[in-house]
Amino acid sequence: MSGLPDEELIHEALGGGEEAFRELMERYKSRAFSVAVGITGDADEALDVVQEAFVKAYYNLKEFRFGANFYTWFYRLLVNQAIDRWRKASRGRTVPLDERFLSGEVSAPEFAAHPRTPEELAQNRELSEALTRVIGDLPEYHRAVIVLREVEGLPYDEIAKVLGCSVGTVMSRLHYARAKLKDALKEYREG
C-alpha cells in the first residue's frame, strides 16, 4: 500500500495504473461489504454487489469529479447496486437482528463485537423474523438510510451526498424507518 491520497490513486488509475485502483479497492472493500450486507441481508449477495460496484467504479472513473470525495462517489454506486440487487432478491430470507442494536442500547461495533449465544439467538428468532418482515417492507431508500446511519455510522451530510438528497430528507427517512421498526418491536417489548 502506497498511502497516496485517493485523488492521486485515481489519477494513476485513469492513466492505466491497475495497481492504484486495487489500492482504492483495498481501502474501501470491508466498509463496502458491510453496507452491502446491511442492504441486501445476505453475505453472498453482498459480495456480488461489492464486486459489481467496483467494476462499475473502474469503468466510470473518468466521470469522477476531482475535488469531490471518492468515498461518497463510490458509495453512491454501491448503494444503488445493493438496492437493485435487493429488489430482485426474494424477501423470504431472515436476517438475525437484535432489539438492543435497533433501540440504540448498543452501537454497531459493540453489537458486532459481542456475538450472541445459540440460546439468545433462539429466543430472538420470532423477533428477528418480524423485524426482517418490517425492514423488507420499508421502501429501499428508508432501508438504505438505516444501514448507512446505524451500521456504517455515516453523518447525515455524508448520507445525503451518497443518496443524492438533502440532509432534511435523510433525517425524515431515518425518523420514518426508526418509527416503523419501533412500532414493530412494540408487541415484543410488552410481551
Quick check: helix, strand or coil at residue 176?
A: helix
β-sheet bridge partners, residue 66 = 68
On whether the CB atoms of residues 94 and 132 are closer than 8 A, the answer is yes
Going from the N-terminus, what domains does the chain have, and what CATH number goes with each? 1-89 (1.10.1740.10), 90-191 (1.10.10.10)
pTM: 0.60
β-sheet bridge partners, residue 68 = 66
Quick check: helix, strand or coil at residue 72?
A: helix
- Averaged pLDDT in 10-residue chunks for the chain of 191 residues: 86 91 92 84 86 93 89 88 73 46 47 50 60 73 82 84 90 89 71 53
